[in-house]
Structure 1
Amino acid sequence: MKTNFFNYAIPMAIAIIGLTSAASTSSITKSELAPVMGWRQIENESTCEPVQECSNSGTFDCTAPDNTQLYAGSESSCLVPLKRNTED
């Protein structure tokens, strides 16, 4: 009877320890998001060109060197304005 108990209890205990360790490491928060390519609208919101990367976190508008707003998107659509965490 003791042998059967240990045959089930030890692997279960190891699995529980492994799962709790994995769960605790996945809850580490990220301090910054990955940079997002900023796109400038050329003619309208359906024609865009890539300009520079934006952090997309913070309260300041992410702008191109000529002070035009940059957007998240692609060559065919850029509608979501990007932000950055510094004023420069």
Structure 2
Amino acid sequence: MHAPAEGYEGEVGAVVFRHGVAEIEAGREVAYFRRRGYRIEEIGAEQAPKEASERPAQSAPKAEWVAYVTATTDLSEAEAANMTKTELAELAE
């Protein structure tokens, strides 16, 4: 689930957000968050995100580098998105 405020770090009830993203299980919470503008995405087995420890190949798309850097550093997704792929790769060294 994605918070309405991009990059939000904190808690809403028992749900912890990191870089504006949190995981919740289906249930009453889903309806609560939807009513308040949170974007909910279902993640199936084939959609599961890559492990953060897997450094992308140099030829990987910039989006993979952004995801890797935001998962392994304190940069927000917005900050990483404003960097070049070369800058992201250097930061990941």
Judge same fold: TM > 0.5, yes or no: no
TM range (shorter): under 0.3
Q: TM-score under structure 1 normalisation?
A: 0.20
Q: TM-score under structure 2 normalisation?
A: 0.19
Quick check: which has more Rg, 1 or 2? 1
Instruction: Give the helix-richer structure, 1 or 2.
Output: 2
Instruction: Give the strand-richer structure, 1 or 2.
Output: 1
